[in-house]
Amino acid sequence: MVATTDPIQTPPRTWNYGTVFLFSLITTSAVIGVPAFAYFYDYTWVDWTMFGLLYVITGLGITVGYHRLFAHRSFNCPNWVKGGLLIAGGWALQNSALKWASDHIRHHARCDQDEDPYNALRGFWFSHVGWLFVNDRHADEKYASRLRQDSVVVWQQRYYVPIVLSGLILPFIVGVLYNGWISGLGCFLLAGVGRTFFVLNSTFCINSVCHLWGSQPHTTADSSRDSWAVSLLTFGEGYHNYHHTHQRDYRNGPRWYNFDPSKWLIFGLSLMGMARDLCRVQPERTRFVRSPSR
Ligand SMILES: [Zn+2]
Ligand SMILES: [Zn+2]
């Protein structure tokens, strides 16, 4: 008779009603509210300028701050620079850096497996946004332990809600100062809600599009793919197959002609003494690499 052991029980899948409600509100406001305001009042150059500025600032907060700095330690920087990146990233409404980066570390460690929080093998919609609508059954504190050592990460976690609100109030105040309450509402809708919707979806494309469609010039050991088109929307994060192969490299697009504004910003910060210890895979290692460093 063969002795058997009980398999480890995975908790049942349950809905995360808070996220479902929040994302329904944002999507409805972005898809209906933003065009409706344009129909009745139209947007001003101030609204569009704030939209563009906040798209760039919050997008880079995620790619340079949350992703390359905190999830991958691809460079280091003084605490005040970290704080700036964490405010910018917090404005993107993608959860605290502690939660975001620990999920992302697990994504690399357990890519394409059940424990991968946005496992692309479960389809486009699950990896794009569906994973946020169910409670995480594989959360593991070990992926957050290194991040908890950073006092700036802990600070951002504590003040995450006020940081998010400040990113929505800022365009409202700018609009009010420009031309009154209606202008404030317009700037809030376009540069607050609409911009949040677009940055969220561009980031989500990394987890969905860049694990489903694109080339695999560096590794076929997981589902990651390079997509220059996604890089245009995400400040260079679309070179995801290279990134999965060399995850600590501060560049996602390693060639000089790759569109990777995040690496340009990190390199620019290093020239000004605001970043140091930039990790970079040597060209010869890129050429001879045989297996991914997951
Ligand atoms: Zn990935
Ligand atoms: Zn990564």
- Ligand 2 centroid – CA 41 distance (Å): 41
- Ligand 2 centroid – CA 14 distance (Å): 27
Residues with a beta carbon under 5 angstroms from ion ligand 1: 224
Task: Select from 65, 140, 69 the least CA-distant residue to 102.
Answer: 140
At residue 294 the predicted structure's pLDDT band, cuts being 50, 70 and 90, is: very low
- Ligand 2 centroid – CA 248 distance (Å): 8
The pLDDT, as a whole number, for residue 282 is 79
Inside any domain, residue 108: yes
Inside any domain, residue 121: yes
Strands (E), the chain: none
211 in helix, strand or coil? helix
- Ligand 2 centroid – CA 43 distance (Å): 36
Inside any domain, residue 241: no
- Of the listed ligands, the closest to the CA of 243 is 2
The pLDDT, as a whole number, for residue 4 is 43
282 in helix, strand or coil? coil
The pLDDT, as a whole number, for residue 9 is 64
Inside any domain, residue 76: yes
* Structural domain count of the chain: 1
- Of the listed ligands, the closest to the CA of 238 is 1
Task: Select from 89, 233, 234, 97 the least CA-distant residue to 167.
Answer: 89
The pLDDT, as a whole number, for residue 290 is 34
- Ligand 2 centroid – CA 39 distance (Å): 40
| pTM for the predicted model, two decimal places | 0.92
- Of the listed ligands, the closest to the CA of 104 is 2
- Ligand 2 centroid – CA 72 distance (Å): 7
Portion of the chain with pLDDT greater than 90, in percent: 90
Q: Is the pLDDT of residue 117 over 80?
A: yes
Q: Is the pLDDT of residue 239 over 50?
A: yes
Segment 114-143 shows an average pLDDT of 96
Strands (E), 51-114: none
* Residues 213-236 pLDDT 10s: 999 999 999 999 999 999 999 999
**Domain range spanning residue 176?**
17-216
Inside any domain, residue 45: yes
